[in-house]
């Protein structure tokens, strides 16, 4: 974050934070449009992606839950996949617990804003005041951008026709590439675990008769290599 080394409490803190966070908002808004469009183009009613985005508010879990639903994987697999993906927000919420503020309202409301992007953005700031400002500004802005994007995509989804023609089906895997590449690049143990998990998931997916959602859960066997790698 290029603003991270400025002096604390400068009067220009808020504009700086808004300027950097707006890049995250724009990117997430576009991904939100694709989420809404994919969900509706896949046959779900408009309210499903819109309500889901407001109350679940977790991009990758929403994408995967909708993907499992649209693939006919069933509600249990969709829920399990989404929740497993969101276990990481527990670790995030511990990391930002002292940033949210001390009142119960700010803790309860702030918890809902805990996402990969907002936590990373907040923790990149130098002093506690900036971290708190960054968390709330980027968090509230991201919530607005994501949900607006999803609404636009859901309303346009039907009008877009065949979203495959626009390559939207390649957008979601590409989002995951961008989000996971830093961790995969820097940590060999994570790389081994993820590679094994991906091979298992693809192999199980092309096995006829296996319900959607199961292959991705089975990818967790890749963590066996993570343990061994870390112990070695």
Partner 1 sequence: MSPTVAVILALAVGTYAFRLVGPVLHGRVELSARVQELLSAGAVVLLVALLATGALTEGDGFAGWARPAGVLVGGVLAWRRAPFVVVVLGAAVVTAVLRLAGVA
Name residues contacting partner 1, limited to 160-199 (CB under 8 A): 164-181, 183-185, 187, 189-190, 193-195, 197-199
Question: Site residues for partner 1, window 65-104 (CB under 8 A)?
Answer: 65, 67, 69, 71, 74-75, 78-79, 81-98, 100
Shortest CB 127 distance to partner 1, Å: 19
Phi, psi of 212 (to 5 degrees): -60, 150
Count of residues of this chain found to bind partner 1 when the rule CB under 8 A is applied:
100
Shortest CB 7 distance to partner 1, Å: 27
Find the DSSP H helices in the chain: 13-41, 47-55, 59-70, 75-86, 88-96, 104-112, 116-123, 128-160, 168-186, 188-205, 214-218, 223-231
CA dihedral 44, 61, 32, 34 (to 10 degrees): -60
Shortest CB 6 distance to partner 1, Å: 22
Shortest CB 47 distance to partner 1, Å: 10
Examine residue 124 and tell whether it contacts partner 1 (CB under 8 A).
no
Question: Site residues for partner 1, window 31-50 (CB under 8 A)?
Answer: 31, 34, 44, 48
């Amino acid at each position: 974050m290029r603003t991270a080394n400025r002096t604390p409490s400068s009067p220009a803190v808020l504009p700086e934070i808004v300027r950097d966070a707006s890049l995250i908002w724009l990117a997430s808004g576009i991904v939100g449009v694709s989420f809404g469009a994919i969900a509706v183009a896949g046959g779900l009613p408009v309210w499903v992606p819109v309500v889901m985005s407001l109350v679940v508010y977790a991009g990758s879990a929403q994408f995967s839950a909708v993907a499992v639903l649209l693939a006919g994987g069933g509600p249990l697999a969709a829920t399990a996949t989404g929740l497993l993906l969101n276990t990481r927000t527990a670790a995030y919420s511990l990391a930002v617990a002292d940033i949210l503020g001390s009142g119960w309202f700010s803790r309860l409301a702030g918890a809902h804003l805990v996402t990969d992007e907002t936590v990373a953005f907040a923790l990149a700031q130098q002093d506690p005041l900036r971290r708190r400002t960054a968390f709330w500004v980027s968090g509230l802005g991201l919530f607005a951008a994501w949900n607006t994007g999803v609404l636009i995509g859901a309303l346009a989804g039907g009008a877009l026709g065949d979203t495959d023609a626009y390559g939207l089906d390649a957008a979601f895997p590409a989002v995951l590439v961008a989000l996971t590449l830093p961790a995969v690049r820097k940590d060999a143990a994570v790389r081994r675990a993820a590679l094994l998990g991906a091979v298992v998931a693809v192999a199980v997916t092309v096995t006829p008769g296996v319900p959607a959602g199961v292959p991705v859960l089975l990818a967790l066997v890749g963590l066996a290599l993570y343990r061994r790698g870390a112990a070695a």
